[in-house]
Each structure stands twice: as C-alpha cells, then as structure tokens.
C-alpha cells in the first residue's frame, strides 16, 4: 500500500478492508486494521465479519473479534 493511500477508499462499493477479508488475506487485513481501517464499515455486499463467517475463515473471524467487531452485528439493509 502506497504512503498516503486512503484506507477507507471504496472500490466498487467495498472498503479495502472488506476486500482483504473477502479475499482471505489475513496479513493485509491486519495491516489495514493497524492503519486504522474501520472494521465496522459496511460494504454494499455486507459487513467484513459476515463475509469472514460465510467463508468459514476462522483466522479472519478471530482477528476481527480481537479488534472489537461485534459478532452479532447486523447489516443496515
């Protein structure tokens, strides 16, 4: 990620964090969280936690929970 890149920048309705979670990139997700990406930001396709659960990505779920994501959060839609 380039210096100065917007962490919350959306690509096709999804934050970089959401895309990293959806792609299963734990290290990238961790880096984005360290750079203060919003773990609660909802994308057009849903919440990062919902995607991690749907993909059965236990490491990703643990990472998100460790950073304060509510396991019972619901999408606005």
Q: Is residue 50 part of a domain?
A: yes
Count of domains forming the chain: 1
| pLDDT confidence tier of residue 4, bands split at 50, 70 and 90 | very low
- In a 10 Å sphere around its CB, with 0-12 CB exposed, 13-18 middle and 19+ buried, how is residue 72 labelled? exposed
Domain that holds residue 59: 10-66
Q: Is residue 72 part of a domain?
A: no
Chain segment 17-71, per-residue pLDDT in tens: 999 999 999 999 999 999 999 999 888 888 999 999 999 999 999 999 999 998 8
User: Of 57, 1, 70, 3, which is closest to residue 25 (Cα–Cα)?
Assistant: 57
Q: Is residue 71 part of a domain?
A: no
CA 53, distance to chain mean position in Å, is 12
| pLDDT confidence tier of residue 76, bands split at 50, 70 and 90 | confident
Q: Is residue 30 part of a domain?
A: yes
Whether the model clears a pTM of 0.85, i.e. scores above it, the answer is no
Q: Is residue 59 part of a domain?
A: yes
Q: Is residue 4 part of a domain?
A: no
CATH of the domain at 24: 1.25.40.20
């Amino acid at each position: 990620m380039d210096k100065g890149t917007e962490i919350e920048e959306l690509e096709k309705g999804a934050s970089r964090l959401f895309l990293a979670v959806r792609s299963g990139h734990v290290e990238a997700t961790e880096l984005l969280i360290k750079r203060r990406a919003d773990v609660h930001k909802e994308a057009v396709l849903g919440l990062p936690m919902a995607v991690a659960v749907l993909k059965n990505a236990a490491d990703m779920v643990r990472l998100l929970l460790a950073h304060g994501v509510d396991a019972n959060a619901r999408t606005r839609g």
